[in-house]
Amino acid sequence: MADSIPLNPVRKNSRKTAYYNAGRPARYVDGRILNLNTVLYQQFKFFLNLYFLVVACSQFVPSLKIGYLYTYWAPLGFVLAVTMVREAVDEVRRCRRDKEMNSQLYSKLTVRVRKAHLIPADMILLRTSEKTGSCFIRTDQLDGETDWKLRIAVACTQRLPALGDLFSISAYVYAQKPELDIHSFEGNFTWEDCDPPIHESLSIENTLWASTVVASGTVIGVVIYTGKEMRSVLNTSQSKNKVGLLDLELNRLTKALFLAQVVLSVVMVALQGFLGPWFRNLFRFVVLFSYIIPISLRVNLDMGKSAYGWMIMRDENIPGTVVRTSTIPEELGRLVYLLTDKTGTLTQNEMVFKRLHLGTVSYGTDTMDEIQSHIIQSYAQVSTPSRKPQPPAPKVRKSVSSRIHEAVKAIALCHNVTPVYESRVNGVSTEPESTEADQDFSDDNRTYQASSPDEVALVRWTESVGLTLVNRDLTSLQLKTPAGHILTYYILQIFPFTSESKRMGIIVREEATGDITFYMKGADVAMASIVQYNDWLEEECGNMAREGLRTLVVAKKSLTEEQYQDFESRYNQAKLSIHDRALKVAAVVESLEREMELLCLTGVEDQLQADVRPTLELLRNAGIKIWMLTGDKLETATCIAKSSHLVSRNQNIHVFRPVSNRGEAHLELNSFRRKHDCALVISGDSLEVCLRYYEHEFVELACQCPAVVCCRCSPTQKAQIVRLLQQHTDNRTCAIGDGGNDVSMIQAADCGIGIEGKEGKQASLAADFSITQFKHIGRLLMVHGRNSYKRSAALGQFVMHRGMIISTMQAVFSSIFYFASVPLYQGFLMVGYATIYTMFPVFSLVLDQDVKPEMALLYPELYKDLTKGRSLSFKTFLIWVLISVYQGGILMYGALVLFDQEFVHVVAISFTALILTELLMVALMVRTWHWLMVVAELISLGCYLASLAFLNEYFDLSFIMTRVFLWKVCVITLVSCLPLYIIKYLKRKFSPPSYSKLSS
């Protein structure tokens, strides 16, 4: 239900931060407490860590104890410590940011917010320091739009003589119940202790939503929504914890290893004949073979992910790139679908006026000088007008000059643009907040602020042809003619643009003549039924859209004083309605929107981002299917898709006809099914109908298209499309955008990329990866994504090989010695094997690369191979299993056969050969040597040799120094590694991989 909020600050909590603290989402308060549980859950939901936790706990049972406790708990603790330290670093950063946000102080009056400060809660604007009673706010962190928004104070409180008078009045605000829509609000302000009571309607123009920033002046407001009721919180979706496909694949492989471990343990117990407490022996064998599942796998992969993120952010070719989610860099190398926004992503969100069409004549960029000459001529002929009403002139065909004059004047008046002048202090520009005496009103010092870049482009164009907007406040605006004369127009009413009406209007009274005129502009679909009959509008709108232009239809209607007074009375009454206010207000406005005179059709163009065409070509050649999701009209979206080369010029396009029911959708889908290898263009409304009745069929057909364009798409629909692809395909999705309306899509995708653009940082902050330009996505995917996936696949499999080989040796040892559950290696040997002896060489695989970055960009087809997942599959896993079994068997049997007279030294012999084999296997896997790899190999070998002198418990130093020991260890190592080198050489010679062909 709606609430009435008393306006008496004395009765409210007088703490400065009362409203602010109440208005923050709960995560700012208890995020640090809950995060520890979240980290532990995220770690132990993986089978690998949960398995080792159970194994480590089993060592507290004496009958199940195999070795020292630290050999099991130390690796587990180290893995968890590394992960939790990484999470702690991220949490500290969040904590600092939250503390900075939560510690801001606000003045004691209901809420006072100064310039450049964040609005703490949803408020009604009561008073502003600006004399006009208005102020500007920046909403980029709320809706992704960088243009300033105009907000208006409640008229009766703004007129109070002094600020302290707010305490002496008795008033309340009636506010509607909390809603999701950030662009609408209905309420009333009532001042009770005056005669008669004052009732003033409140709309979106009187609101200050939380997460917006005051751009001019100081504002005072009354809080109406806090906490979970605030618009910003209602529109915030909880981001999911993203897990990479590689992690899921490795998790499945560890389950397979566990199954093999259990089978091996059962075999051992069976060969014992299930004697004695065989169930206890079974569990001891499970613990004994536990190293078949490497606990170091997670920590190596996590450290590798951090290394990949560091490399991405240090890449000078993609400056400004930020890795915000460090757990999924490999996802960048597995993408099949890229879903991209249009405005601000493929285009620059910088509008340029391109065309003016008057029905019989059209003007483009090369003929704008003709319009300028007509404007100069028109205002030169205008004499000082008389305020005496003139009788209506007979209807005659207007000249081109008069039609141009009317059109340009309408465009210069019908908008929400405000000219802003920077202050100049000793020649240095400051922000626009000074007294008029300090301001410079010259043309060079003027900038325009509006809620839409289209409007700014139109006003800049009228300035270029001679009619300049020089000043605007709540009640009037001034235009400067080519001769320098100032024309003043009083603003009687203004009807803002909404996504439902798709048009905006303004009623002005000209000061010189007293004429009242209603101007309106909007989309052709909205204006076609409003303007008088014509035979050119629909055709020319289509022509302009095919050129990639955004079109606006401009119309006007002259009103008499009686007509306006009647309208104003009905309009004010409708605005005070509590129930169905929007419908009643719309009905009154629509009474004016009849038989309006069509003045012109305008076209503006959004410039393409730099290198969009080659980037999209690169992605297509890499096998990535690109879907463009935009809120623009069908024709404009289609044209941008062609001009950006998202759809090649010789490629057929199937435009999905508008459908509204099941039958129409069925027929259109059948028509689409008969076409092959053509791009699809569909509107959001038709898409919704298709998904309602034929979801599976539509997605199946759409996925076969080389490109898909969805126009008139809402943010919810964008996220829905992402989830559809995830549900109906096994492929990875990526979403990229730059505005607040792209956040849902970015968060839903397997990999979200945000662009820091003109629409603010909301998309980039919510994304997994943030870039500064769309063209950087090519290198991010082709180079870093590809390397991250191939490196992690190699690293993961080698770490598993490291565990399987030692488990094979344990199995051979136990089988020879009567299937006893006695460990081959104990204590420090097991800990050192996976850490100081082999960790650095194995981890150095994160520096390996098969081709140079330039080659990966030159041949994007190399990326296509990665989507098949061949770098890490059950086939490659089985190959590594065979390698591990072979090498483990050779090392163990070789040690027993060659040293049968010195059996007490088997441990030292086999372990030394094992370390040498692992170091040589790393060298076997490396495709491009890095100097750090050589250093890692030498350091590890040096550490092992140095530790031999201190490990007297395991090694006999006098025996190790003998020549016989050395050459026999070398023989065992050679037999375990040489065949693999030969196989690799033959395979590379007779069946080389694609990258090796390019390298040669």
- Say which residues have a Cβ less than 8 Å from residue 550's Cβ, sequence separation at least 6: 351, 454, 603, 604, 605, 606, 632, 633, 636
| DSSP code, position 550 | E
Q: Annotated binding residue at 343?
A: yes
Q: Residue 560 carries which side chain, given as an amino acid letter?
A: T
Calculate the alpha carbon distances from 214 to 100, 112, 432, 629 in Å: 18, 11, 12, 32
- Say which residues have a Cβ less than 8 Å from residue 754's Cβ, sequence separation at least 6: 736, 737, 738, 742, 746, 761, 763, 764, 765, 766, 767, 769, 770, 771
Q: Annotated binding residue at 143?
A: no
Q: Annotated binding residue at 521?
A: yes
Phi, psi dihedrals of residue 896, rounded to the nearest 5°: -75, -35
Give the active site residue among 122, 247, 341, 524.
341
Nearest to 180 by CA among 213, 240, 228, 221: 228
Q: Annotated binding residue at 342?
A: yes
| DSSP code, position 167 | G
Burial of 185 (0-12, 13-18, 19+ CB in 10 A): buried
Q: Annotated binding residue at 632?
A: yes
**DSSP-derived pairing of the beta strands 679-683 and 653-655:** parallel
CA-to-CA distance for 596 and 530, rounded, in angstroms? 6
Q: Annotated binding residue at 539?
A: no
Judged by DSSP in three states, 339 sits in strand
Q: Catalytic residue at 685?
A: no
Q: Annotated binding residue at 500?
A: no
Question: Looking at 129-238, which runs of residues are DSSP E strands?
Answer: 134-138, 148-152, 171-175, 187-191, 198-202, 207-208, 213-214, 219-225
Q: Annotated binding residue at 455?
A: yes
H or E element in which residue 74 lies: helix 70-102
Triad 9, 11, 13: Cα angle to 5°: 80
Beta bridge partners of 894: none
Q: Annotated binding residue at 52?
A: no
- The residue with tokens 């109906």 is 728
Q: Residue 234 carries which side chain, given as an amino acid letter?
A: L
- Say which residues have a Cβ less than 8 Å from residue 326's Cβ, sequence separation at least 6: 86, 305, 306, 309
Q: Cis peptide before 62, with omega less than 30 degrees from 0? A: no
**Under a CB-based contact definition with an 8 Å cutoff, are residues 681 and 641 in contact?**
yes
Q: Annotated binding residue at 684?
A: no
CA-to-CA distance for 121 and 904, rounded, in angstroms? 76
- The residue with tokens 């790899």 is 933
**Quick one: tokens of 552?**
């606006």
Question: Looking at 203-334, which runs of residues are DSSP E strands?
Answer: 207-208, 213-214, 219-225, 322-323
Q: Annotated binding residue at 146?
A: no
Q: Annotated binding residue at 630?
A: yes
Q: Annotated binding residue at 738?
A: yes
Q: Residue 17 carries which side chain, given as an amino acid letter?
A: T
Q: Annotated binding residue at 798?
A: no
- Cβ of 893: how many Cβ atoms within 10 Å? 15
**Quick one: tokens of 610?**
């730099």
**Quick one: tokens of 432?**
């626009």
- Say which residues have a Cβ less than 8 Å from residue 404's Cβ, sequence separation at least 6: 358, 371, 374, 375, 378
- Cβ of 780: how many Cβ atoms within 10 Å? 22
Which parts are annotated binding residues for ATP? 341-343, 455, 497, 521, 550, 630-632, 712, 718, 741-742
Binding residue ranges for Mg(2+): 341, 343, 738, 742
Which residues carry a binding-site annotation? 341-343, 455, 497, 521, 550, 630-632, 712, 718, 738, 741-742
Query: Catalytic residue positions?
Result: 341
